[in-house]
A and B are shown apart, each in its own frame.
Chain A
């Protein structure tokens, strides 16, 4: 995913690596703070090898990735266009947790309700953090939008966990 993102960021105009990094930071807000500084350059080098970007050496500067100006090739542009048109969506991934509960109950390894409660607490804490981060963002910031997406998904996951709790409680009471 990172490759396509970098490609798309280059579509507007050729840029230095540090410019790209700054743009990413801005879009990700606090979530971008953990980003590895060199990650962008590694990606750019890979893209260059794949022929999707070309690097231009600024005259008079040493041959270092962070001094180059990168530009999209036609192949790169095609790739970007294709990526923008994609409609796949990273789906929710509840299967692992669900199977965890089933296995724990079947093998009597642990009480499914305890697992649910622990997970719920964890998610609540994450929700709290995401929410705080979201509220700290100014209105209309791009990062704020991303954080809101996080919050809403965590909410949805928590609702499912409540459903899990109801199900496993009635299983326990019924059996």
Chain B
């Protein structure tokens, strides 16, 4: 494994059922994510990308292979150690947001800190800072039902980075959002990337994938292809827009 990889896995596998009903959700995946990198994993539904993300973050146990985060073996950790991991090292963003409906935005954001045992005041202070950072300071006291989809996901992202995790894992973050809300979330991801946050995003939205440093295609539980999205484009946007002959 690459020594400086923050998050990596080798021959990762997850199967369900048995015999005729055997489903290989994740079938031998190798991945290395360097610190500060944004990796996008794209694929059709049912290809196992969400399962892969859950395995990487310790939300589920693999059937085989290993996962390392900051050089700790994740797949062998006890439930308690995994909980610690989720407190310090991993932040999750879900497609369905999964905010608590009876808590205000800022109360949702401070929840991971409270669950990690941090003092209430420090947790609230950090949460308020994060609300500002995602541009929702004036909606800190709103309930999720009073927020739009894009705003809710931004709150969820703020919650994910509340404990300053080493890596943020996002599972179809714009799956439930329209294009305007997607733009809001895109901006946020870009700003996180610029701040050096390591991101692994599972998505079928190419707009999200376009913000990544690397895009990996996945199908039937394995990686098919990897594209490095660095370097300039050879094409001309003007021509795409229909402005041929104008220059």
Contact = CB atoms under 8 A, between A and B. Distances in A.
Direct contact of A and B (CB under 8 A): yes
A158 B240 CA distance: 14
Nearest to B205: A155
5 contacts: A34-B247, A125-B210, A126-B235, A127-B207, A131-B207
A146 B238 CA distance: 11
A90 B247 contact: no
Interface string B228-247: 01011111111011110111
A150 B240 CA distance: 7
A129 B237 contact: yes
Given A31-B238, A34-B246, A149-B241, 11 more contacts: A31-B237, A31-B243, A117-B225, A124-B210, A125-B231, A126-B237, A126-B240, A128-B233, A129-B233, A135-B186, A135-B190
A106 B179 CA distance: 39
**What size tier do the contact residues of chain A reach?**
35 or more
A93 B179 CA distance: 24
B190 A124 contact: no
A31 B240 CA distance: 10
B118 interface: no
Contacts of A130: 237, 240
A34 B238 contact: yes
Interface in B35-61: 44
B227 interface: yes
Interface majority SS on A: helix, strand, loop or mixed? helix
A141 to B, nearest CB: 13
A21 to B, nearest CB: 11
A88 interface: no
A166 B47 CA distance: 13
Interface in A126-163: 126-131, 133-135, 146, 148-155, 158-159, 162
Contact of B211 (A117, A120, A128): A128
Interface of B: 44, 179, 183, 186-187, 190, 205-207, 209-211, 215, 225, 227, 229, 231-238, 240-243, 245-247
A134 B44 CA distance: 27
Closest A-B pairs by Cβ, 9 of them: A34-B247, A128-B210, A127-B210, A125-B233, A158-B206, A31-B238, A121-B227, A36-B247, A126-B233
A46 to B, nearest CB: 13
A122 interface: yes
Given A34-B247, A36-B246, A36-B247, A133 B237 contact: yes
Interface in A101-117: 117
B234 A34 contact: no
A164 to B, nearest CB: 13
A35 B237 CA distance: 12
Given A35-B247, A36-B247, A122-B235, A128 B242 contact: no
A9 interface: no
Contacts of A175: none
Contact of A146 (B179, B207, B215, B241): B241
